[in-house]
Amino acid sequence: MSKTREMTAPLLEISHLSVMLKKRRDRLKAVDDLSFKVYPGEILGLVGESGAGKSMTGSAILGLIDPPLYISSGEIIFDGNRIDQNASSIRGSKISMIFQDPLVSLNPLRKIGDQLVEAIRTHINMSKAEAFDRAKTLLAEVGIDPRRINAYPHTFSGGMRQRVVIALALAPEPSLIIADEPTTALDVSVQAQILDLLKRLCRERGTSIILITHDMGVIAETTDRVAVLYAGRLAEIGETASVLNSPRHPYTKGLVAATPRIDADSYKKKLFQIPGAMPDLEQIPQGCAFHPRCDFANAQCKIQQPPLFEDRSACWLLKDGSEIS
């Protein structure tokens, strides 16, 4: 971790968080003993396949965990305050959310200006006229002509709608934005524009972002640090360049190897696949949850769950700082 970041107090600190799903008599772990920090002004990526617990972690931070799900243990500290049992006071004001589908966040029957004015005035004490001016500034900031403030959502393209959603997320001037697959529904060139926009806003405003994605390319493009999740647990965490260039955990190695590359010879090679699939909550294996898919699994892996070694990787073979080749 960079020295400057290490010396700063984290904006968000998650310690030993577990989220359970109550299913008849069973208690299933959707998030299992998860710990990580987010520092002011950084972009942290949460990556993993579907079912890894990424979105569930985002929901827990926002206090959007409802029965039959519940937080069974752990703490979420935001800006010095514990919020795991009551996030409603900061949800939408200090912490905003950007969803994959912009249509989920936008009311198709209302002009975007009205929706922005409402979002601003819900959290900031401003007259309607002041909020209207601020809405125009926000539109300009996300690259939309402020003269379109009276347009309806359906008159915008998918990429422009996502820009409106980003403006809505910025309206309350949050310190943290959770962006859940914000570019998955967009085509590649628009995706790059939205990622650039998020990076620029993060740098200019000092806002932190948790970027949830299954796409290692998006992680490489956008994030400062990355946390790799598997079956609700942290598999590996570190500076993005270090994790992607020298992945240590076998699951991270698999995700990196499975990322398509565009180079002269890539079309001749078969794309790597991690064998098997992410287990269902009801069938998370004992020991290291990744062991049925891991080429390096040994007897210990099948019995004992590995802790995070050297604040980096949860794998028994890495406990002495050794490498897996």
Contact 153, 97 (CB under 8 A): no
Least distance in Å: CB of 322 to ligand SF4?
A: 11
Nearer to ligand SF4, 34 or 87 (CB): 34
Say which amino acid occupies 234.
Answer: L
Nearer to ligand SF4, 156 or 309 (CB): 309
Is 194 near ligand SF4 (CB under 6 A)?
A: no
Give the distance between the most distant pair of CA atoms in the chain.
67
Number of separate helices (H) and strands (E) present in the chain? 11, 10
* HSE, side-chain direction, 13 A CA sphere, residue 75: 10
Of residues 36, 78, 156, 290, which one binds ligand SF4 by CB under 6 A?
A: 290
Identify which of residues 52 and 210 has a Cβ nearer to ligand SF4 in the complex: 52
Q: Given the complex with ligand SF4, which of 51 and 102 has the nearer CB atom?
A: 51
Residue 33 Cβ vs ligand SF4, minimum distance, rounded to whole Å: 15
The 294-323 contact track toward ligand SF4, x by CB under 6 A, reads x-xx---x----x--------xxx------
Strand ranges, E, within 225-290:
225-230, 233-239
Closest distance to ligand SF4 from the beta carbon of 234 (Å): 12
**CB within 8 Å of 134: residues ≥ 6 apart:** 120, 124, 126, 171
Give the number of residues in contact with ligand SF4, rule: CB under 6 A.
13
> Contact 5/41 with Cβ under 8 angstroms?
no
Least distance from C-beta 301 to ligand SF4, angstroms? 3
Q: Which of residues 219-258 bind ligand SF4 (CB under 6 A)?
A: 249-250
Give the list of residues 6+ apart from residue 240 with CB closer than 8 angstroms, or none: 45, 219, 220, 223, 224, 225, 226
Sites of contact with ligand SF4 (CB under 6 A):
249-250, 288, 290-291, 294, 296-297, 301, 306, 315-317
